[in-house]
């Protein structure tokens, strides 16, 4: 009697779990579905239909107008994000390598002070960063934004790599030193090939933070040098004539697609990289 009831209770609990997960997915996906459907509707269809109704006539005019408006700023974000992600990840790897394998006097204090960068709000660095960019002649440029994101992201990438390298056996580095390997040989031939999981974490983390940034973009860039997040805000808040919601939704989709693709294609590596090296030995 008891054995016959166990499978039923298990199947009921599993059904409840799956139902809850499906409901949660549906709630999270509804805004995305509304944006996607609206972007392919005509203005007349938007006024007469409801949010979840299928377009009477599927049209791509909203996407065309959106790209004509924010396309140039999209490439600005690419030019800002790619070098900032690559450089901050590489410098973070070098910092983590030094702080974990080549410790020097005061290295723990230096690492502790560096960690403050992880807890500093964006607003606290606006004035000193503006002053520095002005002195360097990089104010209101994409190059200045790249520099700001590199410096601000160094604390996070250094933390990730330092904690990861602390789990690498010190005997590997010691043996390489005995064989005559130098600083960059050990880093390039031993540690970097082992660092793929944490590299993926830093790439995803930095890409998401930089691509979605609005505050630095609106403060440190102007005109044609602004990233797509600022351009999207300007487009949505522009009220001239009839509001074209299909254009707004298409522009929002264009702005969000890169980070969405990054998490869809490489999201599984993010958690795997964060847990890699969590258990030493």
Same domain, yes or no: 40 and 93: no
Is 14 found in the same domain as 79?
Answer: no
* DSSP class of 188: I
Identify the pLDDT of residue 48.
81
Same domain as 162, residue 42 = no
**Domain presence at residue 163:** yes
Domain count, the chain: 2
184 is a domain residue = yes
Please check whether residue 117 is in contact with residue 152, taking contact to mean a CB–CB distance below 8 angstroms: yes
Helices (H), the chain: 2-39, 43-48, 61-101, 107-115, 126-136, 142-165, 170-178, 183-186, 192-194, 196-211, 215-220, 228-236, 245-275
Has residue 72 been placed in a domain?
yes
- Tell me the C-alpha distance between 153 and 205, whole Å: 9
Distance of alpha carbon 124 from alpha carbon 127, whole angstroms: 7
Same domain, 42 and 72: no
206 and 107 in a common domain: yes
Q: Mind listing the pLDDT tens digit for each residue in 108-136?
A: 888 888 888 788 888 888 888 889 998 99
Residue 1: per-residue pLDDT: 45
| Residue 53 lies inside a defined structural domain of this protein | no
Q: Are 206 and 156 in contact (CB under 8 A)?
A: yes
Same domain, 17 and 84: no
Residues 135 and 214 in one domain: yes
Do the domain assignments include residue 280?
A: no
Question: Could you tell me if residue 54 is inside a domain?
Answer: no
Label residue 190 by pLDDT band (50, 70, 90): confident
Q: How far apart are CA 156 and CA 160, in angstroms?
A: 6
- Is a pLDDT exceeding 60 seen at residue 6? no
* Domain assignment of residue 55, yes or no: no
Residue 231 has pLDDT above 80, yes or no: yes
Q: Is residue 281 part of a domain?
A: no
What is the pTM assigned to this prediction?
0.83
| pLDDT confidence tier of residue 76, bands split at 50, 70 and 90 | very high
Say if residue 40 is in the same domain as residue 167.
no
Contact criterion met (CB below 8 Å) for 87 and 150: yes
Question: How far, in Å, CA of 264 to CA of 257, rounded?
Answer: 10
By residue range, what is the domain housing residue 13?
A: 2-48
Clarify whether residues 95 and 185 are in a common domain. Answer: yes
**Same domain? 253 vs 159:** yes
pLDDT surpasses 50 at 204: yes
Question: Average of pLDDT values for 220-240?
Answer: 85
Are residues 102 and 207 located together in one domain of the fold?
yes
Q: Is the pLDDT of residue 16 over 90?
A: no
Q: What is the pLDDT averaged over residues 230-251? A: 83
CATH number at residue 176: 1.10.3720.10
Beta carbons of 99 and 107 less than 8 angstroms apart: yes
Same domain, 8 and 142: no
Q: Is there a contact between 230 and 217 (Cβ–Cβ < 8 Å)?
A: yes
CA dihedral in degrees (62, 64, 68, 70; nearest 10)? 60
């Amino acid at each position: 009697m008891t054995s016959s009831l166990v499978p039923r209770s298990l199947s009921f609990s599993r059904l409840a779990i799956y139902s809850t997960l499906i409901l949660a997915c549906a709630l999270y996906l509804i805004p995305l579905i509304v944006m996607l459907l609206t972007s392919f509707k005509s203005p007349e269809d938007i006024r007469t239909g409801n949010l979840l109704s299928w377009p009477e006539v599927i049209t791509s005019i909203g996407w065309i107008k959106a790209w004509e408006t924010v396309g140039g700023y999209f490439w600005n974000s690419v030019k800002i994000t790619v070098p900032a992600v690559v450089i901050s990840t590489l410098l973070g790897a070098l910092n983590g390598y030094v702080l974990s394998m080549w410790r020097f006097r005061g290295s723990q204090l230096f690492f502790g002070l560096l960690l403050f960068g992880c807890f500093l709000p964006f607003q606290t660095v606006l004035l000193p960063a503006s002053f520095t960019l002005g002195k360097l002649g990089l104010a209101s440029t994409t190059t200045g934004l790249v520099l700001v994101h590199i410096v601000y992201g160094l604390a996070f990438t250094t933390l990730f790599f330092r904690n990861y390298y602390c789990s690498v056996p010190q005997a590997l580095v010691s043996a390489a030193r005995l064989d005559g390997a130098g600083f960059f040989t050990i880093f390039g031939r031993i540690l970097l090939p082992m660092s793929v999981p944490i590299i993926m974490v830093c790439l995803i983390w930095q890409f998401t933070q930089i691509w979605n940034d609005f505050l630095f973009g609106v403060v440190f860039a102007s005109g044609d040098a602004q990233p797509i997040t600022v351009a999207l805000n300007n487009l949505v808040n522009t009220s001239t004539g009839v509001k074209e919601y299909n254009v707004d939704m298409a522009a929002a989709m264009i702005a969000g697609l890169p980070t969405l693709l990054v998490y869809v294609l490489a999201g599984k590596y993010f958690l795997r990289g964060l847990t890699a090296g969590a258990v030493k030995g």
